[in-house]
Amino acid sequence: MEARKVIIIGTGPAGLTAAIYNARADLKPLVLEGHEPGGQLTLTTEVENFPGFASGVMGPELMGNMKQQAAKFGAEFLPVMCTEADLSKRPFVIKASNGQTYTAEAVIISTGASAKFLGLPHEKELTGRGVSTCATCDGFFYRDKIVHVVGGGDTAMEDATFITKFAKKVYLVHRKDTLRASKPMQERAFNNPKIEFIWDTAITEIKHSEAGVTGVVVENLKTGDKQERPTDGLFYAIGHTPNTKFLNGQLKTNEEGYLITTNDVETNIPGVFACGDVQDTYYRQAITAAGSGCQAAIKAERFLEGH
Ligand code: NDP
């Protein structure tokens, strides 16, 4: 069993920022990259709202740079998942998908939350070319375009409303004829002349060319009628799944499985910290994730000094 001071699990902006800080503090963190190295930003194209990049930066490039920066200061990366964690006592025991077991005096969990997809053919390869799971990130690219948004919760209302700042028309496709979203968010969407609701409807196919999404096939779930609709963009707003299963209930979560933190990044187990989307259901931005990664790293460093 290899002994480490800090193990960081997950490599989105939160985990990589934590790695930069802990590496610069000479803690030589071991970083388990997870199932989606670089996190959700690797699924997007241009990032225009990350401070410091006046001309924007490609998501994968930004994450690649963060990784390089952490590695330069001595963070060690492993392209593995954490399969099991025993957090019942210190040192904590972390099992990785390469069959190795490690111990750590402090653990930082930054495994993120994965956007849910519909499961349609080609949707993953079209992400960044018409399919998006992040309106804040990609809405801007749909100026004067037609967009379809899927979902009936607050995110769908918020996303559809946000995208109308740019798009000429937003169709909100929902599988029921009532919304789960809160009343004020519903009202805002109902009152927006650019938003049109398509009720009781599922998207069954994505039409595309080399350049990206060109349309969707929708099916009315009550009548069975099918229709092909042209669209430039398809935004998924059907929820996220926090990546916390591997913790087997050892840390406190809310009903949906997001880790509950106090004092910003502390979990209910001293020495185990959480940052980024795995504990944030509200902001979900790269910059807020990076900020909380910094907090987790500083908290871990001070925890180790005190123990
Ligand atoms: P929700 O889980 O609340 O809603 C998901 C929506 O997607 C539901 O309408 C659901 O349909 C639909 N859906 C799920 N799976 C599928 C599928 N396979 N096919 C078609 N439709 C599907 O997720 P949200 O992301 O909207 O919200 C998550 C949490 O974040 C909520 O607590 C919300 O209140 C909060 N939030 C708050 C905001 C704010 O206050 N500003 C903004 C955004 C989110 P169905 O209704 O039929 O189940």
CA distance 139 to 148: 11
Length of the chain: 307
φ, ψ dihedrals at 264, nearest 5°: 75, -60
Query: What's the average model confidence in pLDDT over 250-268?
Result: 97
**Per-residue model confidence (pLDDT) at position 42:** 81
**Per-residue model confidence (pLDDT) at position 45:** 72
Per residue in 198-224, is it b (16+ CB within 10 Å) or e — as a string? bbebebeebebeeebbebbebbeeeee
Is pLDDT above 90 for 303?
yes
Is pLDDT above 80 for 270?
yes
**Per-residue model confidence (pLDDT) at position 136:** 86
Global confidence as pTM: 0.81
Three-state secondary-structure class, residue 114: strand
**Residue bearing the CA closest to ligand 1, atom 19:** 118
- Ligand 1 within 6 A of CB of 152: yes
* No. of helices (H) and no. of strands (E), the chain: 6, 19
Query: What's the average model confidence in pLDDT over 161-186?
Result: 97
**Per-residue model confidence (pLDDT) at position 203:** 98
User: Could you give the residue ranges of the DSSP H alpha helices within the chain?
Assistant: 13-24, 59-72, 135-138, 154-163, 183-190, 286-306
Is pLDDT above 90 for 48?
no
Percent of the chain at pLDDT exceeding 90: 91
Q: Residue 55: which residues within 8 A CB-CB, separation 6 or more?
A: none
Q: Give the other-Cβ count within 10 Å of 146's Cβ.
A: 16
**Per-residue model confidence (pLDDT) at position 57:** 94
Confidence grade of residue 47 (pLDDT, cut at 50, 70, 90): confident
**Per-residue model confidence (pLDDT) at position 102:** 98
Whether 225 is a known active-site residue: answer no
CA distance 286 to 37: 14
Query: What's the average model confidence in pLDDT over 228-247?
Result: 96
Per residue in 246-276, is it b (16+ CB within 10 Å) or e — as a string? bbeebbebeeebbbebeeebbbebebbbbbb
**Residue bearing the CA closest to ligand 1, atom 21:** 151
**Per-residue model confidence (pLDDT) at position 88:** 97
Is pLDDT above 80 for 44?
no
Query: What's the average model confidence in pLDDT over 264-291?
Result: 96
Whether 134 is a known active-site residue: answer yes
CA distance 301 to 5: 9
More confident residue, 307 or 66: 66
- Ligand 1 within 6 A of CB of 204: no
pLDDT digits (tens, 9 = 90+) for 114-148: 899 999 999 999 999 999 998 988 999 999 999 99
Give me Rg for the CA atoms of the chain: 21
- Ligand 1 within 6 A of CB of 281: yes
Residue 65 vs residues 30, 77, 262: alpha-carbon distances, Å: 18, 14, 30
**Per-residue model confidence (pLDDT) at position 249:** 96
